[in-house]
Structure 1
Amino acid sequence: MEVRDNRWLVLGLMCSGLLLVAMDNTILNVALPAIAAALQPSATGLLWIVDLYSLVVAGLLVTAGTASDRLGRKRFFIAGMVLFGVASVVAAAADSTTILLLSRVLRGIGGAMIMPATLSIIRTVFTDDRERAFAIGIWTSTAAAGAAIGPIVAGAMLERFWWGSVFLTSLPIIAVAVALTIVHVPESRDPNPGRFDPLSVVLSMASIVGIVYGIKELASHGSTSAAVILVAGLVLGAVFIRRQHRLESPLLDLSLFQAKRFTAATLSVLLSFFGFFGIVFFLTQYFQVFGGFSPLTTGVWLLPLALASLLASPLTGAIVRTLGMRNALAGSFGLIAVSLSLFALLGGSADKVIIVLGFVGLGIGASIAATAGAQAIMTSAPPERAGGAAAIQETSFELGAGLGVAILGSVMAAELGGRTIADAGTAAFFDGLATTALVSAGVMLVTAVLAALWLPAREAEFV
């Protein structure tokens, strides 16, 4: 069967990998109380269970993406899926915090190998621009679907089985996806990758981990050590950027950022997930702490967000072609701002209506912004460098999600006066949520205005 004939099967297989990665964190959040009761980790250990995966993924994305260009994207996808499956079994069988943390490291390595490979394979297989735009839209919507499906699956498993069972739900998907990938997905790589630079790998990993960890710790604890780590990460990042400009064969092609379209696309991915994950994190707390919802019911309430994303993402290509990148991004960030501001009204009799409307608007706006960004990033890079471009897109996603939870979390913490959400009470929580929602909406509104003013008109978009 020719690649042209089975490209939609390839898209389904790549989306299956992204689905597993997207489900992972939401599954863990639901299972965390049961894990804490069974393994009784320390407070620090509990934080590492949550944070270690994202740190490993963020640190390895650039290396994994560019390595897949060199060694083969299909090979990286299969290896990542297998490693993700092994980590799932280790997590399910863990009888100590140490073993569970080991599984989180393995899962992070697998996730970092899967994510850039999926998008770069889609870039390679879909040669028609319109079909590629539609395929990337489906791929983007899979992330939102996974975030909503995760709590539903985890809630259903926890009602019947032990906490480790939530990690085993990925195994059937992995087995089928790997078998079909071996047969149907073509291999692709950069035919002329140039010289490999190990120092760039070390610098990229150390800088991204330092920045992500520093931001999270600074927002959570405000410690001096966190500030030092953040500054060190920024310095190493500057050294990395300087080195890439000097190398004949850089690990990451930073010349792509010379185009306004590419820079705007990267920022749109980062900022859309900043608003998306930041506010959703607190609304899931609202459902469980004050609504008394079970994990399963919480997942059901997230479905409007996922369904809106599933509807909007595949249409993004047509929207950008009709309106242009400038109008599409300005409009989508404006919609995100309006949707986030709705959550500032929570605390009355119309809460359910507000949540559904806010989720639908947020799902549509964030999906259009993120999908348009992903499309622009992947089409700006030549096919042989697709893995590196995908790594930029995925790193923007990780940084946006981390910044959203960290920065908006610090705003909420300041509003609650250092108390937990449960201890603060309903009134204090809604006051904090209103402030957090309006801050996030303000950031999105400023972004919409900057997109309208800074991005070129349609006839000059590719300059």
Structure 2
Amino acid sequence: MSSQITERASTLSRSRRWAALTVLLFPVLLVSVDNTVLSFAVPAISGALSPSGTQLLWIIDIYPLILAGLLVPMGFLGDRIGRRKVLLIGATGFALISALAAFATDAFQLVLARALLGIFGAMLMPATLSLIRNIFPDAKERRTAVAIWASAFSGGAVLGPIIGGLLLEHFWWGSVFLLAVPMLLPLLIGGLLLLPESKDPNPGRVDPLSIVLVIFTLLPFVYAIKSFTSEPLYVVIGAVALSVASGVGFVRRQLAAANPMIDVRLFSNAAFSGALTVNLIGVFSLVGFIYFVSQHLQLIAGYSPLDAGLLMTPGLVLTMVFGLVSVPLAARFGAPAIMVGGLMLSAAAYAVVVFAGSSGDVFWLMAAFCVLGIGVGMSETLSNDMVLTAVPASKSGAASAISETAYEVGAVLGVAVLGTILNTVYAAQLKVPEALDAAATQAAGETLSGAHQIAQGLPADQAQALLASAAHAFDHGVLITSSIAAVLALVAAIVVARIIKPATR
């Protein structure tokens, strides 16, 4: 029965295939819009809920972190019970929890809602990519479909700041979460009418311990990064040790299983591993950049959320355009060359920020973002396609889950690593007026938004001095984080160039 269902997915008419792809773009747009909208809502959330610096990072990161931990299990679940079924369950839950998140009254409630969104969000992305793998059996059609799928991420990133800016200027911060409801309705209706069901005719067994090991590989690792400067050293070391032990345990368990949840031997495939590296570093670069530039534009340069979103639109449009352009470029020059070129452009973008100096000039920031958009657009489409083509169609759910895990881990680390470094440098560089009490000093040193809130209650001269120091400290942190990001992207480009053979297409 299951093999017949899978076959049905691969024998659709041409018009039905592309109509099905249109339906599958809605969850992709939603996830992308959700990520960029939240970055632009950070100042408004900070003002309304007064989170600490650590809470603010968790509000942003808990969703992709939980999502990353569950992507592989949910991809496996889709292979087992049906990818369309998992997709529709995830869409329903995501819409309901988004409505609850919009009305959170404190930082803890919002963190909890974001965690629940991560659970249902994990059902969305592996299902979309694995359905594409089965709906488009022809390699050329599939690469075009994946390019459109990847471009939808960029399209959502373009729409996110603009829609979010409009909402934040006219409504409260919670309105950005209500976007999920109208965006998922077409998926629920179209999914029932147009999407074929598909699943693996021979899935691995349900393994709760493996699921737990995946989660405990990721959660403690990111916690260690976030808590490096605020927790005792033994706590950080313990978290890293738990992460490593869980990761080793997961790999050994998969190697010993006759039919594992994830075939970790796939990582011995150079094309597969190289493509995942490109995926992770590309998203790491993009999300980390958006995290700090959105705050700079609003809190230092003084732009409204809408104007800040419009300023970033060209770079995001270039990400979408070059996601599509990468397909003919790969046909001419080979996918590895284009992916390596994309990583090098990402490194160059961060280098522009470094060499522009600590002035934080908006022109240079936007120029760098355009270069970054081109680089990420070139690399992401091809890396996703390379991951899919490295495995049989029956295992596409698991493979796409691994690809999406790399994507979400990149998003988590982009904020966790660069955000933690930025916050640490900011706190070290900030100089506050001597008249501030301990509580106000701590609040101003937690986040840039915190400094702006404290400044509102100070005399004009003290407020001006605090804001000037906060701007300098923040931009100095941006220089340090940009230097690190540039080096990481360059190293990744070198590694990928060495492990993926030029003949790979």
TM-score, structure 1 normalization: 0.91
Provide the rounded CA distance (Å) in 2 between the counterparts of 1:239 and 1:338: 38
Aligned residues: 460
Which of 287, 292, 296 matches 1:277?
287
Matched-pair contact (CA < 8 Å) for 1:49–1:101: yes
Quick one: structure 1 residues 115 and 369, their matched pair in 2 at CA, closer, same or farther if it must change by over 3 Å? same
Question: 1:201·1:251 contact (CA, 8 Å) conserved in 2?
Answer: no
User: Is 1:261 the counterpart of 2:263 in the alignment?
Assistant: no
1:296 aligns with 2:298: no
Matched ranges for 1:95-134 at <5 A = 95=105, 97=107, 99-134=109-144
- Could you tell me how far 1:243 is from its partner in structure 2? 0.7
In the aligned structure 2, how far is the partner of 1:443 from the partner of 1:50?
A: 22
Q: Which residue of 2 aligns with 1:451?
A: 496
- 2:62 counterpart (27, 52, 57): 52
Q: Flag the 1:430–1:123 CA change in 2: closer, same or farther, 3 A.
A: same
Q: Tell me the secondary structure at the aligned position of residue 15 of structure 2.
A: coil
Q: 2:372 aligns with which of 356, 362, 365?
A: 362
Q: Which residue of 2 aligns with 1:433?
A: 478
Distance in 2, matches of 1:60 and 1:121, equals: 18
How far 1:41 moved relative to its partner?
5.6
User: In 2, Cα distance between the equivalents of 1:451 and 1:215?
Assistant: 25
Quote the Cα distance in structure 1 between the aligned partners of 2:279 and 2:256: 27
1: CA distance, partners of 2:48 / 2:362: 34
Q: Which amino acid in 1 is paired with 2:254?
A: Q
Provide the rounded CA distance (Å) in 2 between the counterparts of 1:147 and 1:4. Answer: 29
Does the Cα contact within 8 Å between 1:23 and 1:146 map onto a contact in 2? yes
The 1:161/1:333 distance shift into structure 2, 3 A limit, reads closer
Q: Deviations over 1:2-30 (max 9, x none)?
A: 44322222222212101111222332333
Paired position in structure 2 for 1:87? 97
Query: What corresponds to 2:225 in structure 1?
Result: 215
TM-score norm. by structure 2 comes to 0.84
Match of 1:345 in 2: 355
Change (3 A) 1:179 1:215: same
Tell me the distance in 1 between the aligned counterparts of 2:301 and 2:422: 19
Are 1:21 and 2:66 matched, yes or no? no
> 2:276·2:406 contact (CA, 8 Å) conserved in 1?
yes
> Structure 1 residue 366: deviation in Å?
1.2
> Is the CA contact 2:101–2:174 (under 8 Å) kept in the aligned structure 1?
yes
* Native 8 Å contact 2:349 2:372 kept in 1: yes
For the residue of structure 2 that corresponds to 1:159, the secondary structure is helix
DSSP-derived class of the 1:189 partner: coil
Measured at CA, do residues 223 and 19 of structure 1 come closer, stay the same or move farther in structure 2, by a change above 3 Å? farther
Q: Is the 8 A contact 1:134 1:316 kept in 2?
A: no
Amino acid corresponding to residue 490 of structure 2 in structure 1: L
Amino acid at match of 1:254: V
| Residues 338 and 105 of structure 1: CA distance in aligned 2, closer, same or farther (over 3 Å) | closer
Matched to 1:441, the amino acid is A
Preserved contact between residue 262 and residue 377 of structure 1 (Cα < 8 Å):
yes
Cα deviation 1:303-361 (Å, max 9, x = unaligned): 11211011111222222222123322222222222222111233599934423332221
Map of 2:442 onto structure 1: none
**Structure 1 gaps, min length 5:** none
More divergent stretch after superposition (281-290 vs 148-157)? 148-157
The alpha-carbon distance between structure 1 residues 208 and 371, as it changes in their structure 2 partners (threshold 3 A), is same
Q: 1:405-436: per-residue Cα shift (whole Å, max 9, x none)?
A: 23333443454426444554444444433332
Superposed displacement of residue 219, structure 1? 6.5
Deviation at 1:220, TM superposition (A): 6.6
Q: Distance in 1 between matches of 2:364 and 2:47?
A: 35
The question of whether the paired residues in 2 share the 8 Å contact of 1:130 and 1:317 is answered with no
User: CA offsets per residue over residues 161-214 of structure 1, 9 Å max, x none?
Assistant: 233322222212211221011000000000111432222122112222222333
More displaced, 25-34 or 179-188?
25-34
Task: Please say which of residues 370-379 and 345-354 is displaced more in the overlay.
Answer: 345-354
CA distance in structure 1 between the aligned counterparts of 2:32 and 2:390, rounded to whole angstroms: 25
CA distance in 1, matches of 2:83, 2:401: 12
Decide which structure has the larger Cα Rg and report it.
2
Structure 1's 425 and 173: CA in aligned 2 closer, same or farther, altered over 3 A? closer
TM superposition shift of 1:248: 0.5
SS state at 1:218 partner: coil
Distance 1:350 1:202 in 2: 43
CA positional deviation for 1:129: 1.1
Query: How far apart in 2 are the matches of 1:37 and 1:451?
Result: 42
Please identify, of 114-123 and 343-352, the stretch whose mean Cα deviation from structure 2 is larger: 343-352
CA RMSD of aligned residues (A): 2.5
Matched, 1:321 2:321: no
Structure-2 separation of matches of 1:141 and 1:170: 19
**Deviations 1:234-286 (Å, cap 9, x if unpaired)?**
21011100110110111111121121111101111111122222222211121
Q: CA offset at residue 83 of structure 1?
A: 0.5
SS of the aligned residue for 1:302 comes to helix
What is the rounded CA distance, in whole Å, between the counterparts of 1:405 and 1:217 in structure 2? 13
**Partner residue of 2:255?**
245
Identity %: 37
Give the Cα separation in 2 of the matches to 1:362 and 1:172: 31
Q: What letter corresponds to residue 156 of structure 2 in structure 1?
A: G
Answer yes or no: is 1:331 the counterpart of 2:376: no
Once the 2 structures are TM-superposed, how far is the Cα of residue 59 of structure 1 from its aligned partner?
1.6
The aligned residue for residue 228 of structure 1 is 238
Instruction: Determine the structure 2 residue equivalent to 1:396.
Output: 406
* Paired residues of 1:377 and 1:393 also in contact (CA < 8 A): yes
Which residue of 368, 383, 388 corresponds with 1:378? 388
Confirm or deny: 8 A CA contact 1:220 1:406 kept in the other structure.
Answer: no
Deviation readout 1:385-406 (Å, 9 max, x if unpaired): 1111111111111222222223
**2:88 alignment counterpart:** 78
Give 2:73's aligned amino acid: T
Structure 1 residues 45 and 407: alpha-carbon distance in aligned structure 2, compared to 1, 3 A threshold: closer
Q: State the alpha-carbon separation in 1 of the partners of residues 179 and 494 from structure 2.
A: 43
The 3 A distance-change label for structure 1 pair 99 and 184 is: same
1:226 positional shift: 3.1
Q: CA 1:430–1:207 in 2, change beyond 3 Å: closer, same or farther? A: closer
Q: What letter corresponds to residue 377 of structure 1 in structure 2?
A: V
Question: Does the 8 Å CA contact 2:222/2:416 hold for their aligned counterparts?
Answer: no
Between 319-328 and 8-17, the greater mean CA deviation after superposition: 319-328
- The answer on whether the counterparts of 1:134 and 1:315 sit within 8 Å (CA) in structure 2 is no
Query: 1-side partners of 2:182 and 2:336: how far apart?
Result: 42
Shift of the 409–106 alpha-carbon distance from structure 1 to 2, 3 Å rule, reads closer
Show CA shifts across 1:71-121 (max 9, x none): 111111111111011012212344455544443233111111001111111
